């Protein structure tokens, strides 16, 4: 297990370096002189020279990358051109908001998607199966901003059941302790704060969860069907086990392992969706921060947020690989 | 052709997707000749709900939304084709070279592929489009870059599988040039899975480019691109929801049609899934 971990981490190094090169190159891809583009038409010569120096643009490329790399090791992602604050601090402040809705979305998607996939597989080609297929294909074909808009229109504006946007009702004074709104609302002790926090979270979480649940349901269905064809399932049937035991103790357990990989991979795509979702619901996470940075042409922030999204993705794949190794005895044995 | 007929006859959903796409294609080709210009401003008729004279209503400049949606459809279908074609050519080229050459070339190409795939696709597309500068062309390049690695992976796997076949060894023994072997023997035999990948990529290409348009990084106003139109009409969504929902549903219907076909093709080419389905 230890050897596997070391090998996996070592393999990560060249990819991580290339990821850094890509993120580093972003500012250098700006056509013309980035400093002039960033400052806009009204900039003075002195401002341009100062910004060039701040971004190291007056140095050779290799030196620029080296100082970017060393900066990152010290937790320095540069400063926002808009607010002047360190990018890392601004991202860390917003990280809990993004994690809150994405983790909840993963949990909801697992609870909804897996049972749907199992039922579809056990009733393959039934009316239920076909409608699930169409619904889930609709789920993956839906632009996140359209779903967000529809939910907002129906549940917040027309029915008035849920808040339109934001994280908690402005009537509550909740101090930031952990950055997670439900926990902070609970710590504040204000009656009604927790339910307000939850109500605000429902719509953005649903938008993210729909996509993942749709993908997961389809995937579990097809792996279940493949597994049901395998010899060990036939043996289990031949032994006279009940249908319930065959499906849930043999087939399902073996279909869930590959599902972990899908959850990990799709989690990353969901993070991309968070940019659109957070923008529509004014959810103060990294996604909306990135959107504001695009509007303001705040490149250090765009770079920082891109890198954090990539790191979160790489970390998820690493965790998925480790989980896979821990859970699957075949992989475990091969490693040791 | 007979294969295509058999495929559509056996796949109701793929047939449905094909019919919807055919209708859409017809509508975007003919529609603009019958409707007012998508750019024609008529402030007297602004924000009108759907009616007989404006089937999808009008936006806050009084422009006919159906005209805009149909004109946007021309862009969107062209975007889908161009982005996938670009990603296909670039990805397949590098994938085949990696699989065929092996060694250090393979390692370098595949590490770059891994690195690109380490970003959530939309995040990388956003970052690249933001760096290139907001325009439809740049958004399309950015999306194609994020899609190309998937083609590279499939092409490499196919090249590795096919390279060891006897007929490829025979071609080597006959002294055929490497480029010829690559295109005439390896690519031709790897085309099936690549086409499945391409049909699935259409949906992603359209979704991502429209997302960039929505964020202001793609098509610029007054171009009637669907994602940009949804975003331009966001502030009127409470009073005049049709302005944003028209182009939004157009994206959904188009992407869904492509995915219905792609999904059924993937089943068709995968015997295990076919027997299961």
Probe site for chain B from A294, A308, A320 (most B CB atoms < 10 A): A294
Q: Which of A110-124, B74-88, B157-171 has the highest mean pLDDT?
A: B74-88
- Interatomic CA distance for residues A241 and A234, integer angstroms: 10
Chain-chain contact of B215 with A19 (C-beta, under 8 angstroms): no
> Among A150, A226, A309, whose Cβ lies nearest the Cβ of B119?
A309
> Helices B121-132 and A286-296 sit at what angle, rounded to 10 degrees?
10
User: Does the pLDDT value for residue B208 go beyond 70?
Assistant: yes
CA atoms within 13 A of residue B257's CA, in its CB half-sphere: 19
Query: What is the reported pLDDT for B272?
Result: 55
Chain-chain contact of B276 with A290 (C-beta, under 8 angstroms): no
> Among A137, A229, A268, whose Cβ lies nearest the Cβ of B263?
A137
Query: What is the reported pLDDT for A332?
Result: 67
Query: What is the reported pLDDT for A287?
Result: 92
Q: Which of B254-258, B259-263, B264-268 has the highest mean pLDDT?
A: B254-258
**Residue B247 touches chain A, beta carbons under 8 Å:** no
- Interatomic CA distance for residues A132 and A137, integer angstroms: 8
Chain A positions touching B118 (Cβ under 8 A) are: 15, 19, 310, 313-314, 317
First to last CA, chain A: 7
Query: Would you list the DSSP string of A162-187?
Result: S-SSSSS-TT-----SSS-HHHHHHH
> Among B121, B131, B263, whose Cβ lies nearest the Cβ of A27?
B131
**Residue A24 touches chain B, beta carbons under 8 Å:** no
- Interatomic CA distance for residues B184 and B155, integer angstroms: 14
Nearest CA in chain A to B272: A226
Give mean pLDDT, residues B39-59: 80
Give A20-78 pLDDT, tens digit per residue. 999 988 888 877 777 787 777 778 888 888 888 877 777 888 888 888 889 889 988 88
Distance from the A49 Cα atom to the nearest Cα atom in chain B, whole angstroms: 20
Q: Which of residues 57-86 of A touch B (CB under 8 A)?
A: none
Chain-chain contact of A275 with B251 (C-beta, under 8 angstroms): no
Query: What is the reported pLDDT for B273?
Result: 52
Give B118-166 pLDDT, tens digit per residue. 898 899 999 999 888 889 999 999 999 999 999 999 899 888 877 777 8
Task: Check residue B235 and report its DSSP letter.
Answer: G
A285: pLDDT confidence band, cut at 50, 70 and 90? very high
Probe site for chain B from A143, A211, A297 (most B CB atoms < 10 A): A143
Greater model confidence, A60 or A138: A138
B276: pLDDT confidence band, cut at 50, 70 and 90? very low
Nearest CA in chain A to B260: A137
Which secondary-structure segment (H or E) carries A112?
helix A87-122
Contact call for residues B194 and B260 (beta carbons, < 8 A) = no
Chain A positions touching B79 (Cβ under 8 A) are: none
User: Does the pLDDT value for residue B275 go beyond 70?
Assistant: no
- ipTM beyond 0.95? no
Chain-chain contact of A149 with B244 (C-beta, under 8 angstroms): yes
- Interatomic CA distance for residues B71 and B206, integer angstroms: 15
Output the six-digit token pair for A78.
Answer: 């540069």
B271: pLDDT confidence band, cut at 50, 70 and 90? low
First to last CA, chain B: 23
Chain-chain contact of B277 with A225 (C-beta, under 8 angstroms): yes
Nearest CA in chain A to B212: A276
Chain B positions touching A133 (Cβ under 8 A) are: 13
Query: What is the reported pLDDT for B1?
Result: 65
> Among B123, B203, B248, whose Cβ lies nearest the Cβ of A306?
B123
Residue (of B206, B207, B221) closest to B74 by Cα position: B206
Residue (of A153, A31, A162) closest to B133 by Cα position: A31
Query: What is the reported pLDDT for B194?
Result: 87
Chain-chain contact of A222 with B276 (C-beta, under 8 angstroms): yes
Query: What is the reported pLDDT for B137?
Result: 92
- Interatomic CA distance for residues A11 and B32, integer angstroms: 54
* Rounded percentage of chain A residues whose pLDDT exceeds 70: 98
Q: Return the percent helix, strand and coil in chain A, to nearest 5.
A: 75, 0, 20
Query: Would you list the DSSP string of A10-37?
Result: HHHHHHHHHHHHHHHHHHHTSSS-HHHH
Greater model confidence, A59 or A115: A115
- Interatomic CA distance for residues A195 and A199, integer angstroms: 6
């Amino acid at each position: 297990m230890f050897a596997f971990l070391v090998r996996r981490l070592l393999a990560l190094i060249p990819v991580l370096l290339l990821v850094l090169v890509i993120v580093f190159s972003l500012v250098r891809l700006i056509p013309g002189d980035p400093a002039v583009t960033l400052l806009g038409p009204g900039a003075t010569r002195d401002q341009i020279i100062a910004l060039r120096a701040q971004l190291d643009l007056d140095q050779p490329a290799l030196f620029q990358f080296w100082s970017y790399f060393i900066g990152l090791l010290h937790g320095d992602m540069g400063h926002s051109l808009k607010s002047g604050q360190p990018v890392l601090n601004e991202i860390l402040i917003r990280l809990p908001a993004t994690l809150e809705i994405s983790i909840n979305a993963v949990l909801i998607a697992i609870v909804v998607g897996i049972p749907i996939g199992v039922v579809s597989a056990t009733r393959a080609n039934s009316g239920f199966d076909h409608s699930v297929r169409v619904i889930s294909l609709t789920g993956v074909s839906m632009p996140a901003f359209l779903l967000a808009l529809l939910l907002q229109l129906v549940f917040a504006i027309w029915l008035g059941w849920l808040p339109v946007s934001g994280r908690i009702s402005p009537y509550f004074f909740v101090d930031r302790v952990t950055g997670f709104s439900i926990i902070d609302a609970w710590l504040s002790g204000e009656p009604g704060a927790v339910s307000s926090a939850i109500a605000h979270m429902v719509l953005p979480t649903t938008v993210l969860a729909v996509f993942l649940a749709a993908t997961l349901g389809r995937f579990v269905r097809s792996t279940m069907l493949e597994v049901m064809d395998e010899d060990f399932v036939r043996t289990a049937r031949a032994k006279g086990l009940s249908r319930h035991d065959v499906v849930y103790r043999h087939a399902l357990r073996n279909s869930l392992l590959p599902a972990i990989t899908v959850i990990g991979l799709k989690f990353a795509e969901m993070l991309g969706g968070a940019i659109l979702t957070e923008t529509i619901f004014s959810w103060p996470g990294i996604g909306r921060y990135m959107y504001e940075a695009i509007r303001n042409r705040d490149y250090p922030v765009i770079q920082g947020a891109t890198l954090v999204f990539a790191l979160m993705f790489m970390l998820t794949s690493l965790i998925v690989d480790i989980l896979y190794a821990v859970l699957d005895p075949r992989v475990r044995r091969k490693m040791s | 052709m007979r294969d295509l007929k058999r495929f559509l006859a056996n796949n109701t959903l793929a047939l449905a997707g094909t019919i919807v796409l055919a209708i859409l294609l017809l509508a975007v080709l003919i529609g603009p000749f019958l409707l007012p210009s998508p750019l024609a401003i008529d402030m007297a008729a602004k924000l009108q709900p759907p009616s007989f004279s404006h089937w999808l209503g009008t936006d806050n400049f009084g422009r006919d939304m159906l005209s805009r949606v149909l004109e946007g459809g021309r862009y969107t279908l062209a975007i889908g084709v161009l982005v996938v074609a670009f990603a296909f050519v670039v990805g397949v080229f590098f994938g085949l070279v990696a699989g065929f050459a092996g060694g250090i070339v393979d390692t370098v190409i595949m590490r770059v592929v891994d690195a690109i795939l380490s970003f959530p696709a939309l995040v990388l597309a956003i970052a690249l489009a933001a760096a290139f500068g907001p325009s439809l062309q740049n958004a399309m390049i950015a999306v194609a870059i994020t899609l190309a690695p998937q083609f590279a992976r499939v092409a490499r796997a196919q090249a590795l599988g096919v390279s060891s076949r006897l007929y490829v060894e025979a071609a080597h023994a006959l002294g055929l040039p490497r480029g010829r072997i690559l295109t005439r023997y390896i690519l031709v035999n790897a085309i099936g899975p690549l086409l499945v990948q391409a049909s699935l990529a259409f949906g992603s290409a359209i979704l991502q480019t429209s997302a960039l348009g929505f964020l202001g990084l793609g098509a610029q106003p007054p171009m009637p691109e669907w994602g940009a139109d949804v975003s331009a009409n966001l502030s009127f969504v409470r009073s005049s929801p049709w302005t944003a929902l028209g182009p939004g549903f157009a994206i959904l219907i188009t992407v869904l049609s492509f995915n219905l076909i792609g999904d059924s093709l993937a089943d068709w080419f995968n015997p295990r899934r076919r027997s299961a389905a």
